[in-house]
Copies of this chain bind each other. A is one copy, B any other.
Amino acid sequence: MSKYNAPLTDMRFVMFDLLKAEAQYARLPGGETATRDVLDAVFDEAAKFAEQVLAPLNAVGDEEGCHFDKTTGTVTTPAGFKQAYAQYISGGWGGLTAPEKYGGQHLPESIGAPLKEMLDSANLAWGMYPLLSHGASEALKQHGEEWQREVFLKPIVEGRWTGTMCLTESHCGSDLGLLKTRAEPAAEGNGADGTYAVTGTKIFISAGEHDFTENIVHLVLARLPDAPAGTKGISLFIVPKFKTGKDGKMRERNAATCGAIEHKMGIKGSATCVMNFDAAEGWLIGPPNRGLMAMFTMMNTARLAVGLQGLALIERAYQNSLVYARERLQMRSLSGAKFPDKPADPLIVHPDIRRMLFTQKAFAEGGRALGYYAATLVDLVERSPDADERKRADELLSFIIPIVKGLLTEVAIECTYAAVQIFGGHGYIHETGIEQFARDARITTIYEGTTQIQALDLLGRKIMQTQGVGLKHFLEEISAFCHANAQNAALAEFVAPLAIAAKDWADLTQAIGKRALANPEEVGVAAVDYLFYSGYVALAYFWARSVAAADASAQSGDFKQAKRSTARFYFARILPRTLTHAATLRASAESLMAMPDAQFG
C-alpha cells in the first residue's frame, strides 16, 4: 500500500527561504497573524490530517468509488470520506483563507497552496470536494450581492454546505458559447421576487451530489431569454439543492437533481454527476450576460489549484518510487556490485532509474516553487494596498497560471508514468496503489481547460493580446536574478544558461508574434510547444533560484547539495527539451495545416 509523508522541509524551504512569504504576509491585510510559528503549526497539523486521515482513504476511494441510487438520486461517497470531511471542517480548514466576516480566518491565499498540495497528494479524489467549494466561494465573494454572501457563502465557509461549478453540457466543454441551459424569470410577479427558473442538463459536475452536507450550492451558467448568442449571452446563477431564500432558511427540495454519476478512469472517489435542472429555483449572480466573466475569475484560482494537483501527484509518485527503488533488488550496477552482500543491487543504482527519480524530484521541487510563487501573486492581487503592485501581480499571475496548470499537469502524467515504470509489473496491479496515481493524474490535463486551452490562453490572450506584459515582468525578474548573481561563482553554471534561455524565450516570442500577425493560425500551431518551452525555462529559473536560496539558508548541507545536484540534472537533462520545442516552433505551419482533412483517412 502506497504511503504519503508531507514534504514539510521542502514546503517550508519554498515558502520561507525561496519566496520569503513571511515578509510578504507581514505587510498584507490579514497576513499579520501569519507568523512563522503560527504557519509551522498550521503546516504540521495539515500534514497530520493528510497523512493520517486522508491518505489511508485514497485506495479505498478508488476501489469502492461512489454509489448512485437511481430511485432517490442520492450519491453515497466511499467509506470514510464523509467522516474525513467532518474532521476537515471541525479542524477549521475550510475557512482558512475566507473573509472573517463570513466565518473565515482571512489568512493569505498562498497559505492554501501547501495545504492543497498535502490534501491532493494524500487523496486527490477527496480533495475535489473542498476544491469545488473553494471555487464557489470565490465566485460568491467576488460577484455576489451582500445577501447572497450572507446566505450562500457563509455556510460554505463554515463547511455546512458545499459548492459546485456547473459549466459543461454534453455538446460543449471547451466551447461554452454553445451552451443551452436557460433561465427564465419566475412566473410569480414576472421575476419580481428575483428568482429564475433554470432548466437544462449539465455534465461532469464534480461534487454535484454527495452525502457530506445538508445543502449544495450550484453555480450554473445559463442563458436568459433573448440573451445574445455565444459567450456574450451567458449568465451565472446560484441554484441551491434545497431552495433557500433571502432569509437564509432552507426550504423544500429544488428541482436540481443528480441523474447519474460517471464511471471514470480515475478519481473514482469524486462524484462526477449529470445534473438535471428542471425549472429549478435560482438567483442571478453578477450582471446579466456577464456570467462567463464571473466564471473566469474563478477559473484563475481553479486552474492554479489543478496545477497544484499535478504537483501533488508528482510528489506522491516520487515518494513511492524512491522507497521502491531503494528496497527492490534487481541486477547489478554496470560498474560492479554496489551491495555485494545482497543478492542484487537496489534499483536506485541503475542510471535510468535515477533519471526517472531525478525527473520526478526536479518537477516536484521545481513545480512547488513555481506553483507557490503563483499563489503568492494571488495574495498581492487580492490584498496589496499598492495599486501598482496589484496591477503588476495581476499581469504576472494571468501570464503564469496557464504555465502552472499546463506544465505541472503534463509532467504529472510523465512522473506518474515513471512511478509505474519503476515498479514494473508490480506497478501495473491495483495492490501497490501506484497505477492509481497515473489514472488520477490523467484528468488533470483535461479539466479546468485542457492543455490545448491553456496553451491558447497563454499565447493567444496572455502574450498576443497584452503585448506580452506578463512575460516582460517575468523576464525582468529573471534578468534581475541573473544580474544580482553575476559575480556569484557558485551560481555561474546556472546563471549563464538561464540568461541565454531567457533571451531565446524573448526572441522566440517575438518571432511567433510576427508570424501570427500574418497568419492567425500560427498561434494555434505554436501554442502547445510554446507552453512547454515557457514552462521549462520558467522551471530553470526556479531551479537556479532554489540553489541560491538553499545556499543562503540555514538548511542542512545535504539539503543544499541535493538542490544543487537536482538543478544540475535539470539543466543538463530536462532543459534541453526546449531544443525540440524551439525547432518545432520554427517549423512551418504548412507541415501541420496543409493536408486536406479528408486525407487523414
Q: Is A348 an interface residue (CB 8 A)?
A: yes
What 1/0 flags go to A524-557 for Cβ under 8 Å of B? 1101100000000000000000000000000000
- Who on chain B is nearest to A520 by CB? B334
Q: Which residues of B contact A350 (CB under 8 A)?
A: 452, 524
Q: Is A168 an interface residue (CB 8 A)?
A: yes
Q: Which residues of B contact A394 (CB under 8 A)?
A: none
Tally of this chain's copies: 2
Within 8 A of B (CB), among A456-472: 460
Task: Report the bound CA distance from A94 to B110 in whole Å.
Answer: 62
**A488 nearest CB across to chain B (Å):** 20
Q: Is A430 an interface residue (CB 8 A)?
A: yes
**A205 nearest CB across to chain B (Å):** 11
Q: Is A569 an interface residue (CB 8 A)?
A: yes
The DSSP consensus for interface residues of chain A is: helix
Q: Select the stretch in A247-255, A371-379, A507-515, A572-580 that faces chain B.
A: A572-580
Q: Is the CB of A599 within 8 A of B561?
A: yes
Q: Is A501 an interface residue (CB 8 A)?
A: no
Q: Which residues of B contact A353 (CB under 8 A)?
A: 452
Q: Is A117 an interface residue (CB 8 A)?
A: no
Using A343-B178, A429-B265, A573-B591 as known contacts, say yes or no to A442 and B447 having CB atoms under 8 A apart: no
What interface size band does chain A fall in? 35 or more
Task: Report the bound CA distance from A358 to B322 in whole Å.
Answer: 36
Q: Is A175 an interface residue (CB 8 A)?
A: yes
Q: Is A587 an interface residue (CB 8 A)?
A: yes
Q: Is A222 an interface residue (CB 8 A)?
A: no
Query: Which of A528, A583, A595 has the most C-beta atoms of chain B within 10 angstroms of its own C-beta?
Result: A595
User: Interface of A with B (CB < 8 Å)?
Assistant: 7, 168, 171-175, 177-178, 203-204, 262-266, 272, 318-319, 322, 326, 329-331, 333-335, 343-344, 348-355, 357-358, 361, 413, 417, 420-421, 424-431, 435, 438-439, 442-443, 445-447, 450-452, 455, 460, 519-521, 523-525, 527-528, 558, 561-562, 565-566, 568-569, 571-573, 576-577, 579-580, 583-584, 587-595, 597-601
